[in-house]
Amino acid sequence: MAFVSTEKLFSRDWFVAYSYLIIGSLLFAMGDVMFVNPYKLAPGGVYGIANCLYHWFGFKISLSVLFMDIPLLVLGTFVLGPRFGIKTMLSVFIILGFTYLLETHLWGYDAVIQNDAMLNTIVSGVIYGVAIGLIFKSGATSGGSDIISMILNKYTKISLGFLVIVVDSTITLLTLFVPTENGMLDFRLPIYSWIVIFIEGKIIDMIVDGAKVNKTLFIISEKHEAIKNKILNDLKRGGTSFVGEGMYGGKERKVIYTILTRRESTLLRKFIAKEDPTAFINIVDSNEILGAGFKKIDSE
């Protein structure tokens, strides 16, 4: 069942997952109330709509989100089935609780960063990215407008990624109609909001997948044995050796396939440069490496 947590109750993994969930939810609420809302930004999602409603009608962010998220969760469960899980349900309400406390009792709507919209935008993107990244690592999502995208995806067959961009960009454009001091449309608001979304996405990738520190190398060299020994004996890594055929001359060449960290890759390149300057090396950034010596393969 999707509503059952995969971690054993009160195990180390259970505490880690729910710590991520709580910390991520707190950071998300702080980012919205203390950084995003005071500058009239709306980087997508139901919180983006709630920020606009606050500036239009003075509605509390938490109250607006409550009246949007609950119907969306019910509708999503009815249309898509019980696929959101208990952690997503908890995430929605924990963020709501923190948002209510911050806007009502602890902080209000004052900006932490005064008179610097661009710096505030960058910080907002980082905070949102870390927050949502931690929530994703816990095994949850933040609910909200993603449910709309998932429903549209079911009936239109348009890619989910594209629909998420369309939905969030549409919400972002609502900032054009937020009241300004001079009564004119402020095109900076959606632009700043899009910058938040961009930074947020990059940070989420780093939190969830980690920085790109691994390199995949394909090496063709006459000094095949020396390079193999360097990888096995000095770098203490493994690899795969296979025979390929050159397309131009039809000559058989041995190819080494190996995966190294960034530092190990640099050491091996320097070694090959001395041993065989005519070698051919193809180096590719690897987002995720699973298996012995790298990241443990997750059963999920």
Q: What are the pLDDT digits (tens) for 198-245?
A: 999 889 888 876 666 789 999 999 999 999 999 999 998 999 999 988
Q: Which residues of 109-134 are buried (b: 16+ CB within 10 A; e: fewer)?
A: eeeebeeeeeebbbbbbbbbbbbbbb
pLDDT band at 2 (very low <50, low <70, confident <90, very high): very low
Which secondary structure element, helix H or strand E, spans residue 297, and what is its range? none
In order of start, what are the domains of the chain with their CATH numbers? 12-209 (no CATH), 214-286 (3.30.70.120)
- Tokens matching residue 155: 């009936």
pLDDT of residue 1: 34
pLDDT of residue 61: 97
Reported as a single tens digit per residue, the pLDDT across 18-28 is 999 999 999 99
Q: Which residues of 200-217 are buried (b: 16+ CB within 10 A; e: fewer)?
A: beebbeebeeeeeebbeb
pLDDT of residue 111: 95
Yes or no: say if 143 and 86 are a contact pair by the CB < 8 Å rule: no
For the whole model, what pTM was predicted? 0.78
Higher pLDDT, 130 or 210: 130
Give the closest residue to 140 by CA, choosing from 279, 22, 297, 31. 22
How many residues belong to the chain?
Answer: 300
